[in-house]
Amino acid sequence: MGSSFSRASTGLVFVVAGLLHYAAPAAYEKIMPPYLPLHRELVYLSGACEVLGGLGLFPKRTRTAAGIGLILLLISVLPANVQMLLDARAAGKPSWWTALLWLRLPLQLALVAWVRTVSRSRD
């Protein structure tokens, strides 16, 4: 039960997070690095990848591919997380907020490890 619950929870988190890209795209556009083009399109693309990856964790036959896709997605959004930190520092946000944003960066590695685990389990 443990690994199937973890996988289902992870899949659901990614599906919900992906749908939020469509519900509130402006929030995601704000953290896009300025050097990237087509911010709205990239927000929608990353949202679609999250939804598809999350759903892909459920069937055994797509689980491994979904895991690889989600790991690549987590790596690809790292610049947006860095941009969010840079913007917060430039705007003089409270130190507790910037500390949370600093902590978010290694969290990406933890998420990569977690996705790898749930996409490899075979129950």
| CB proximity list for 110: less than 8 A, separation 6 or greater | none
Q: CA-to-CA distance for 57 and 73, rounded, in angstroms? A: 14
Ordered by start, the domain boundaries in the chain are 2-118
How many CA atoms lie less than 13 Å away from 99 in the CB half-sphere? 3
pLDDT < 70 regions, the chain: 1-2, 121, 123
Q: What is the pLDDT of residue 1?
A: 41
Q: Cα separation of 68 and 63, whole Å? A: 9
Torsion-angle region of 92 (φ positive above 0: left; ψ -120 to 50: alpha; else: beta): left
To the nearest 10 degrees (0 to 180), the angle between helices 95-120 and 78-90 is 170
Residue 3: what pLDDT? 85
Q: Is the dihedral of CA 40, 46, 51, 56 positive or negative?
A: positive
